[in-house]
Amino acid sequence: MPDTSLLETFPSPATSFPFVIEHTSEEFTSVCPKTGHPDFADITLRYQPAPNGTCVELKSLKLYYQSFRNEGIFYEAVTHSIRDHLVDLMNPAWLQIISNWKGRGGIRSVIRADFGDVPPAYLGR
């Protein structure tokens, strides 16, 4: 199961704003619960830490993503779960999760889940 206990934070250095952080993992994989075949995605996390808030530590984020490796879970639920876990962890000003899935049956998919007041410049990107 996805293991949120792997996630760690550190205090944000930002004393003024906007301060926007974006991490793109090109090595995400989980398993389709219907067919048992593996799924592959690029996952982008984009967020603005809260004032005096925290940032997710990069290596802990990698290990957390790896905990989906043998999990049977749909595209939409992957995206929604990561959003919820990271919002719980950091309580950021705003946050986006964008999952970009390799093709299945000739169809590529992108799922976007947002939290908070995402500035218009980041919508749809």
Query: Applying CB under 8 A, which residues contact its own copies?
Result: 10, 12-27, 29, 37-38, 40, 55, 58-59, 61-62, 66, 69-70, 74-77, 80, 102-115, 118-125
- Give the residue with the Cβ less far from its own copies, 5 or 116: 116
Kindly list the catalytic residues.
32, 39
Within a 13 Å sphere around the CA of 101, how many CA atoms are in the beta-carbon half?
21
State in angstroms the smallest separation of the CB of 51 from its own copies. 14
Can you tell me the distance from the alpha carbon of 60 to that of 9, in angstroms, rounded to the nearest whole number? 8
In contact, 125 and 114? CB cutoff 8 Å: no
State in angstroms the smallest separation of the CB of 103 from its own copies. 6
Residues 6+ apart with CB under 8 A from 65: 25, 27, 28, 43
- Give the residue with the Cβ less far from its own copies, 4 or 77: 77
> What is the four-CA torsion angle of 83, 85, 91, 92, rounded to 10 degrees?
-40
State in angstroms the smallest separation of the CB of 28 from its own copies. 9
Can you tell me the distance from the alpha carbon of 74 to that of 109, in angstroms, rounded to the nearest whole number? 12
